[in-house]
Structure 1
Amino acid sequence: MSQWRLPGAVDNGHTFFAHALALAAAHGPGPWPDGGYPLPDEESPPPMMSGSVSDGVRTHHFAVNDGTAAAIKIADAIRGIIEDPPDLVAIQRLHDLIADHDTLPIADPLSERLACLDRDRVREVGRWLAEYGTRRDAVATGIVLIGLTGDERDRELLLLLGSLEDLALYAVVALGRTRSDRDMAIFELARRVRAWGRIQAVERLEGTPDPEIKASA
């Protein structure tokens, strides 16, 4: 197994991960007050249209913009990071690059361009963004990377971050791709969120054979 490891960030006090941990300590697994808003990268009160609402509306009612150009740029940056010795400055630059791009349109083209790269190292990049990210789209893209390359070890992180309404869509998809108990993991997340987060989860449970999930419908 590769010993390649990214260093931790110098200061993670305002990360989404720390925010979610604080909410879990105060309120349990969720649903959390106001869906976890305000988020670390926004001021209170939350914006008129939150990220979860924007993602929900676009995935259900409108075509998603083409994010291929941005995905190529981000994929090239990730490739450079995983092919070189672990470097904190490089991963922080990647964080800032990703944070300036909407996750939804880049998720699919980015997934296609990372398929041939070292899975363990892509997972490390995803975990770093998810755990140390201070801006919404950087964390969401980290979850996308975990969904591409993660495994059973990532369950609790995905459930924790997915309990933030803004990140629920990405956590639902990642749980569906990485969990052997796919339906039950998504069901657990569905019980932790409301609004669009729950809609995204419940839609992916349609047709489940699990009797416990069917009985709760």
Structure 2
Amino acid sequence: MSVTPEPGLLGPHLSIFDHALRMHREDPDVPLFRDGEPYPDEGQHRGRKSRPREPEDRRRSGADVAAVLDTHFADGSAVPGDLAGAFHDIYVPIHPNEHIMAAACRVDAERVRATGRWLVQHATDRCATTVGLALLTTVWDEDDIELIKTIGLLSKGFGPLAARAHERRSW
């Protein structure tokens, strides 16, 4: 006999992007209530025993993320979905980061863009979504404007990177 798991036991099923889109559609003429919080992955983040912390040497902030990206991009058969849970247990900066930008610049821009787009649109974890937005901030093109604007509606966690993308190109 099989048992159906209770909702939430397998983690969130709504992507962070879809959460922002849904909230915006409910009331498109006002800022998102509480900056869109709580996010669908709230249970996973709140239930952690230890939260990843920024390195004491702030110059190393983002280096762990860049190392994961370098390993991922070095594997020609790796797909963006492989990164969906890769960042949950490491510190992910929410501001533009030189290590993450450098990792993005070491790879073909189209592959980086495809990875960033996938993570922003499909990741159910805010950490992976943030990395996707960081990748897009480095290599985005005009097709990504609405994606960046939508995830940027969750301003507390995604606003700094969305604003950086806006600074890089005039919309």
Give the TM-score of the pair, scaled to structure 2.
0.74
Residue 95 (structure 1) aligned with residue 89 (structure 2): no
Deviation by residue 1:29-65 (Cα, 9 ceiling, x = unmatched): 541111101111104xx89xxxxxxxxxx9xxx9746
- Note the C-alpha offset of 1:136: 1.0
- Tell me the residue number matched to 1:168: 159
Q: 1:151 to 1:29 in 2, by over 3 A?
A: farther
1:92/1:31 CA distance change after superposition, 3 Å: same
Instruction: Provide the alpha-carbon RMSD of the alignment.
Output: 2.8
Q: Which stretches in structure 1 are left out of the alignment for 5+ residues?
A: 1-11, 48-57, 182-217
Q: Distance in 1 between matches of 2:117 and 2:137?
A: 10
Count of aligned pairs between the two proteins: 149
The runs of 4+ residues in structure 1 deviating greater than 4 Å are none
Specify the alignment match of 1:31 in structure 2. 31
Q: Structure 2: which 5+ runs fail to align?
A: 1-11, 48-53
Q: How does 1:160-199 map to 2 (within 5 A)?
A: 160-165=150-155, 166-177=157-168, 179-181=169-171
1:148 counterpart (138, 147, 158)? 138
Give the letter for the 1:28 counterpart. P
CA deviation map 1:121-147 (0-9, x unaligned):
100000000000111111011001001
Please report the TM-score for the alignment, with normalisation by the length of structure 1.
0.60
For residues 87 and 142 of structure 2, the distance between their equivalents in structure 1, rounded to whole angstroms, comes to 26
- Alignment-derived partner of residue 120 in structure 1: 110
Partner of 1:139: 129
* C-alpha deviation, 1:79, in angstroms: 1.2
For residue 67 of structure 2, the aligned residue among 73, 80, 96 is: 73
